[in-house]
Amino acid sequence: MKRLITGLLPVIIVLALLAPAAMTISASPAPSRPNWGESQTGGVIIATIKADRLNVRRIPDTTGSVLGILTRDQQVRAVGRDNVSNWLEVATPFGQGWISARYVSTNDTILKLPVTERLIPPFATVTTSPSVLVRAGPQREYPTVANVPLGAELDVIGLHRDNTYVQVETDDGVGWVSLQVVAVTGNVNALRATDREAPAMAQINAYRVRVRTAPNTSAPVITRVRLGERYFIVDQDALGNWYLITGDFGQGWISAAHVLVIGYLPAPWDK
């Protein structure tokens, strides 16, 4: 027994010496990495303008259109960069855009910012002279919302599922423009198909058609519409035999038998 205790004694001494060290290591917290795009202190990366006037552009290139101008000592939040860190994507009073990194100072390294040049919000540039028509729906038969000149840029907010039109925002409202007359730049992968959300239209295919106060032939007549005229469809009856249209006369019901539908109109039982 004496020999056994003598043999264990060096082992007990070694374990006693190692135990405090092991406790110290396990008690030390692992260093935390700052959130992507934030400074070491956990705050956002701020860019301070060091030029008298600095253009904010739609894309990270000197050929990009100017969204606005920042002035010396003005501060903006940086949200991204290009692949070689020559340009910063920043949030400004006139929207999100790009500025040259050469003319700013930042409170932290811009290498922490994500590369966002491939995620530029999509926009359409008018390529046809002298102008193009933006329509209320994704077909030529729809009325005009705006007339946009050559070179103008429009924010793209939706797609046609057949890749023939894009939905855009103009100063005069939201509408649709053909892809044959514009060039689209930016990331369209995040956009959804919105063509079926455009209001359907009724094109009259008879010479004189009665518009009534209710969806039946015994209802009083409000007015008569003529061959080729077009009206927006507001609603339809439960069987799809009558359409509620809107015009200068207000609203009224017209027989579906005398109408050619323009655009997408879901079956009444699919609503």
Question: Do the Cβ atoms of 215 and 227 come closer than 8 Å?
Answer: no
3-class DSSP state for residue 7? Answer: helix
The long-range contacts involving 161-170, CB below 8 angstroms and separated by at least 24 positions, are 161/193, 161/195, 161/196, 162/195, 164/138, 165/138, 165/195, 166/122, 166/124, 167/138, 167/194, 167/195, 168/124, 168/134, 170/134, 170/145, 170/146
CATH of 46-119, one of 2.40.50.100, 2.30.30.40, 2.40.170.20, 1.10.3720.10: 2.30.30.40
Question: Mean pLDDT over residues 4-26, rounded?
Answer: 37
CATH of 201-270, one of 3.90.1170.50, 3.40.50.970, 2.30.30.40, 3.30.470.30: 2.30.30.40
Kindly report, as residue ranges, where domains of CATH 2.30.30.40 are found in the chain. 46-119, 123-197, 201-270
Percent of the chain with pLDDT over 90: 80
pLDDT digits (tens, 9 = 90+) for 32-70: 323 444 444 346 899 999 999 999 999 999 999 999 999
Q: What is the pLDDT of residue 271?
A: 64
pLDDT band at 269 (very low <50, low <70, confident <90, very high): confident
User: Residue 86: pLDDT above 50?
Assistant: yes
Question: Mean pLDDT over residues 101-110, rounded?
Answer: 96
User: Residue 139: pLDDT above 80?
Assistant: yes
Question: Mean pLDDT over residues 77-81, rounded?
Answer: 96
Q: Which residues of 169-192 are buried (b: 16+ CB within 10 A; e: fewer)?
A: bbeeebbbbbeebbebbbeeeebe
Q: What average pLDDT is seen over the chain?
A: 87
pLDDT digits (tens, 9 = 90+) for 194-230: 999 999 999 999 999 999 999 999 999 999 999 999 9
DSSP-derived secondary structure letter, 265? -
Percent of the chain with pLDDT over 70: 84
Q: What is the pLDDT of residue 151?
A: 95
More confident residue, 31 or 126: 126
Q: What is the pLDDT of residue 33?
A: 29
- What tokens were used for 128? 């046809």
User: Residue 11: pLDDT above 50?
Assistant: no
pLDDT digits (tens, 9 = 90+) for 151-179: 999 999 999 999 999 999 999 999 999 99
CATH class of 123-197: mainly beta
